[in-house]
Structure 1
Amino acid sequence: MKIAILVNEDTMKRCTGKGCFNAFFKRIDAFSQYGPEAEILGFTHVGGDIQHKIEKLKKSGVDTVHLSTCLRGKYEGYEELAHELAIHFDVMGYTHGSAKGKTKDAINLKKK
């Protein structure tokens, strides 16, 4: 399983990625379904040229994109982005913490 994590651009100005990486390496929360063969091939924010980033992730062989927990909570286009990504990848709508959010639950989409 090849995974990419997309995070909120504004949050990246102060975030180290610790929550996302901790969940991945401990195989907890959104990453509890993966075995030791899973690897992270991308970690980036949603700012800039997202279409270019999608193409790079496809060329890298990414199967699943995780939208970070901060993206779910703070990004207005969260649902639209998830559906756009599902054209190319499976999409898990959070990384760490609960799948139940304060304002919205995590999206979980299979590739279309």
Structure 2
Amino acid sequence: MKIAILVREETMQRCTGKGCLNAFFQCKDAFARYQGDIELVTFSHAGGDIEHKIAMMLKNGVETVHLSTCLRGKAKNYEELAKRLSRHFAVVGYTHGPETGRERAAIILEKGGSIRV
């Protein structure tokens, strides 16, 4: 399974990515759901040319995009971004910590936009 992690651009100005990367490499929190091998193909912020980033992720075989926990907590376009990405990928709307955050629960979508249970 090829995975991408997209984080909040503003948070990347001061964040090292430790929470997201620890969860990925330790297969815990949002990444505990996977059985077998997973490969981190992309670790990038969600700002800039998102269409180019989508094209590159598709080219590199990404199957699932995780939106970072900071995106869920602070990004105004969190829901819109998740729906946009779900046209091409499964989307898991958090990386580390609980699935339900202080402000809102994580969006989890199958490719095509249907809600994953």
**TM-score normalised by the chain length of structure 1:** 0.98
Secondary structure of 2:9's partner? coil
Extract unaligned runs of 5+ from structure 1: none
- In the TM superposition, 1:4-83 aligns within 5 A as 4-83=4-83
Q: Is 2:106 aligned against 1:98? A: no
Q: What amino acid is aligned across from residue 62 of structure 2 in structure 1?
A: V
- Per the alignment, residue 115 of structure 2 pairs with none
Q: What amino acid is aligned across from residue 87 of structure 1 in structure 2?
A: R
Q: What amino acid is aligned across from residue 3 of structure 1 in structure 2?
A: I
Distance 1:92 1:18 in 2: 18
Q: Identity of paired residues, percent?
A: 61
Secondary structure of 2:20's partner? helix
Query: How much has 1:34 moved relative to structure 2?
Result: 1.8
Closer, same or farther: CA 36–16 of 1 in aligned 2, 3 Å: farther
Superposition misfits of 4+ residues, deviation over 2 angstroms: none
Query: How much has 1:37 moved relative to structure 2?
Result: 1.0
Secondary structure of 1:4's partner? strand
Extract unaligned runs of 5+ from structure 2: 113-117
**TM-score normalised by the chain length of structure 2:** 0.94
Q: What amino acid is aligned across from residue 13 of structure 1 in structure 2?
A: Q
Query: How much has 1:35 moved relative to structure 2?
Result: 3.4
Number of matched pairs: 112
The alignment's C-alpha RMSD in Å is 0.7
Distance 2:13 2:101 in 1: 22
Distance 2:78 2:65 in 1: 13
Distance 1:34 1:64 in 2: 11
Closer, same or farther: CA 58–27 of 1 in aligned 2, 3 Å: same
Q: Deviations over 1:34-87 (max 9, x none)?
A: 234101000000111000000000000000000000000010000000000000
